[in-house]
Structure 1
Amino acid sequence: MTRNKQNDISVTETDQDEKRRKSAIKGAFFSEYIDMFDIYLPVVVLTPVMFYFQPKNISESLEVILSSLVFITTLLGRPIGALMFGMVADRLGRRKASIYSVSGFGIITFLIALLPGYETLGITSYLLLVLLRFLDGIFLGGGYTGAMPLAIEYSKKSQRGFVGGFIIAAFPLAYVSITLIAMLMFFLFPLDGADSPYAQWGWRIPFVAGAILAGFLTLYYIHKVSESEVWKEDSGVAEPQKKLPLMSLVTGESGRNLLQVLLLMTGFWLTQNIITLAVPTALLDKTLGLSGSQLTFTLLITYLVLFLSYIGSGLLGQKIGRRRFFMISGIAIATVGSAIMYLLVNARGMPLATIILLVCALAILVTSPWGVIVTYINERFATEVRATGFGVGFSLSVIIPSFYAFYMSWLGHLMPFHYTLVVLLCIGGLIGAFGAFMGPETKDVDFQ
């Protein structure tokens, strides 16, 4: 009887562990989904109505600058949030950091939905929008700093590759979702000047939806997700013996690990930005001259394919090793990827089906490292600094690549402008491969 009772207890504990594992992984997936949903809201939903927050009759160049600041300030806020909430996650727990950050960007997103326009507040309306997007970036930067380490720490070693790829696959799903929602809003509430339904309140609906999603995710973490067992075991170390996460991160072995991660991520952020930001605008829109509907259709197909390719990359990285995968993919991006980009640059007049096929092939190749990145960065840091290391390594490295448009402009003095995408793609792939070469293999690392 005693043995049967012990077996029952063991089975119950195993079931509970599996339930906690699945809850943490689902939480990270939806955290990434909502994070990306919120990041791209101003790009897709607000861009057509930025005049609602700006003075009339401003120059085209100033209009472009004011519109871009709404997106850039969010990116600038992310590294700050990653550092802040990373330290919270390492000191107080991954679960608490997730709850605080998700609650924060839910509230900020709802406040943006309530903003009056320029006719009511003048330039203060635009300044409030930029300020709220900056604060939003801080909370968004913290959204994955607790959620992703929590999910990876709960994952079995043999399944970390799949889990990392599955989590990041929420990004293309979010892009597809927000694009479809925006198309629905344009259909239901036509945009025709400052007094049209979309300009006055149609754009607000997706922001309210984003806030509601964040609210549901907060409740999910409160009621469904348990704190990381790995973190709880590590947090048992006596407090006087523990340094602040930031001090531990930038010194000794962790400091060297961080530099290597930043190098690798700088390369792959550069290639990622070219695919997600430069290709739709500089290539498909301007160089190839696709119509709005053709561009939207091409991007929707591409992002749907990426949902599966991210998961596939995570599984392949688990099989052959993260370091080897990064080195192979980085070199492939610099060679095969650059060749496909060259074909696309000269694809004007090609059938749309051929262009879509080339774009999908390029996107799968160039973004493949991202199916492995979440798992790899978490494996590069000890438990006491894992959340801070992941957040800083993931977010701080985006700054230099974010100025890709300036690099294109400088290279444009040396070559035809449209070929600058080919050169930057090659440079980014080589930097990513070299960054991987400088680090160790991590797929057999034990969390402790």
Structure 2
Amino acid sequence: MKTLTANEAVQSDGGQSIETRRRNAIKGAFFSEFIDMFDIYLPVVVLSPVLAFFQPPHLSSGMETILASLVFITTLLGRPVGALLFGMIADRVGRRNASIWSVSGFGVVTLLIAVLPGYQSIGIASYWLLVLLRFVDGIFLGGGYTGAMPLAIEYSKKEQRGFVGGFIIAGFPLAYVTINLVAMVMFALFPMSGLNSPYAQWGWRVPFVIGAVLAGILALYYVHKVAESEIWQSEAGDKPAQAEKLPLTDLLRGKSGRNLLQVLVMMTGFWLTQNIITIYLPTGLLVKTLHLTGFQMTLTLMITYCVLFFSYIASGLIAQRIGRRRFFAIVGPLIATVGSVLLYVLATVQGLTLTTIIVLTCVLAVLVTSPWGVIVTYINERFVTDVRATGFGVGFSLSVIIPSFYAFYMNWLGAFMPLQITSVVLLSVGGVIGAVGALMGPETKDVDF
């Protein structure tokens, strides 16, 4: 395999130096994560207030909750499909091509959502079209990072992979802050007062158009600025044509199959802890238990996500120094103990001031979500080049399914304990599973691609 160094002058693709290609690939992965998360949270932040635009009138509160959750859940269910599909594409025809096709796809689907008619125009078909498009959107979104992230990690210097992985995933909190700011502007410009108000009729469409435009810009960026992975090209060039197999075949057997199982166990634990913080904490805890107003909740979350932008990068740098396996092995038990105590305090202690709630939420979120600053790098290092994109995509996305039903687990546990304690138990269980999963695998920070 040809070894590339930072001192190599100019490469064949577009006359770019290796340093330029490295920076472009990393920036592409960061913005891919940013736009991915921007699109994921569009229905949660922007569309939630006006979902009745797509639904029949006079629904029961229970049916409204089910229909609202389907819009979000179908996107999550589409992600593993996209991760598998585009992971195989990335391993067969290149990371760059997979990124261009997937980004272009979710840009088109997001634009189609922006022009959907409502229930008053086409009846219940409007809701099912929304759900279908969100599922297809999830497929393309699942493929977006499957090509972009392995491409960026393969271009990174070994000693900088920790920073790069943390920097890429920091696009998530930045996207959350951005979509909330966009939503605030929309609410201010287009008043919302019923289904015939400016916001309900077309104000919500503007952020979807913005998301589609961002996706289009990212696709053009990959076309004109990002070069294919040198490591993938070298591996693909070394393989005889008759030796080519579907990446999924190689992924599911032998050493790669064992690696995938280990990643799935670890990620199941960390997805469970992540869901408690990013989904349950805002609505189930801050609103229903602590009774924060809309402004107070938004303020708490905006401050928290601003802090997370930097803490993800810090986690990547720390794990680069002490080892990624060791980082998970330390943080997992801390989540199960210290994190559970912090969540217990928020869930049970009465009379907490807003400042105290903000501080506790920030500390809790930094601790519980810290593995995510390491996960992108770690999973990519667990697979060989032939199956890296497929392994990363499947390991990252398939593991989200079981933790996604955390609300059902809380209800089951509620038969044995107070409901507000069930989230504490799940957080502890998730931390332990994540640590055990990490200990099942080796250290990876010195792995050569």
**2:335 maps to 1:338:** no
Q: Superposed, which structure 2 residues align to 1:347-366 within 5 Å?
A: 347-366=349-368
Shift of 1:15: 7.1
Matching residue within 399, 402, 416 for 1:400? 402
Paired position in structure 1 for 2:286: 284
TM-score when normalising by structure 1: 0.97
Assess if the C-alpha contact under 8 Å between 1:288 and 1:347 holds in 2.
Answer: no
Shift of 1:242: 2.7
Distance 1:240 1:78 in 2: 31
Moved more, 137-146 or 231-240: 231-240
Distance 1:350 1:382 in 2: 50
Paired position in structure 1 for 2:143: 142
Distance 2:441 2:190 in 1: 52
Shift of 1:346: 2.1
Distance 2:241 2:412 in 1: 51
Assess if the C-alpha contact under 8 Å between 2:9 and 2:18 holds in 1.
Answer: no
Paired position in structure 2 for 1:265: 267
Matching residue within 410, 429, 434 for 2:412? 410
The amino acid that maps onto 1:122 is: G
Paired position in structure 2 for 1:90: 91
Paired position in structure 2 for 1:52: 53
Assess if the C-alpha contact under 8 Å between 1:347 and 1:355 holds in 2.
Answer: no
Distance 2:211 2:80 in 1: 21
Paired position in structure 1 for 2:22: 21
Paired position in structure 2 for 1:191: 192
The amino acid that maps onto 2:347 is: V
Structure 1 alignment gaps of length 5 or more: 1-8
Shift of 1:239: 2.0
Spell out structure 1 runs of 4+ moving beyond 2 A.
Answer: 9-15
**2:383 maps to 1:381:** yes
Paired position in structure 1 for 2:3: none
**2:283 maps to 1:311:** no
Distance 2:142 2:83 in 1: 5
Matching residue within 240, 244, 247 for 1:245? 247
Residue deviations 1:155-188, cap 9 Å, x none? 0000000000000000000000000110110111
Paired position in structure 1 for 2:130: 129
Shift of 1:240: 1.2
Distance 1:15 1:93 in 2: 18
Shift of 1:93: 0.1
Assess if the C-alpha contact under 8 Å between 2:8 and 2:17 holds in 1.
Answer: no
TM-score when normalising by structure 2: 0.97
Structure 2 alignment gaps of length 5 or more: 1-6
Give the percent of matched residue pairs that are identical in Structure 1 and Structure 2: 71
- Residue 15 and residue 332 in structure 1: after superposition, are their counterparts in 2 closer, same or farther (change >3 A)? same
Shift of 1:268: 0.1
Distance 1:15 1:387 in 2: 24
Paired position in structure 2 for 1:72: 73
What RMSD over aligned residues (CA atoms) do the two structures have, in Å? Answer: 1.0
Assess if the C-alpha contact under 8 Å between 2:169 and 2:312 holds in 1.
Answer: yes
Shift of 1:313: 0.1
Question: How many pairs were matched up?
Answer: 439
Distance 1:357 1:249 in 2: 43
- Residue 399 and residue 296 in structure 1: after superposition, are their counterparts in 2 closer, same or farther (change >3 A)? same
Paired position in structure 1 for 2:4: none
Distance 1:109 1:21 in 2: 29
Moved more, 240-249 or 422-431: 240-249
Shift of 1:290: 0.4
Residue deviations 1:114-144, cap 9 Å, x none? 0000000000000100000000000000000
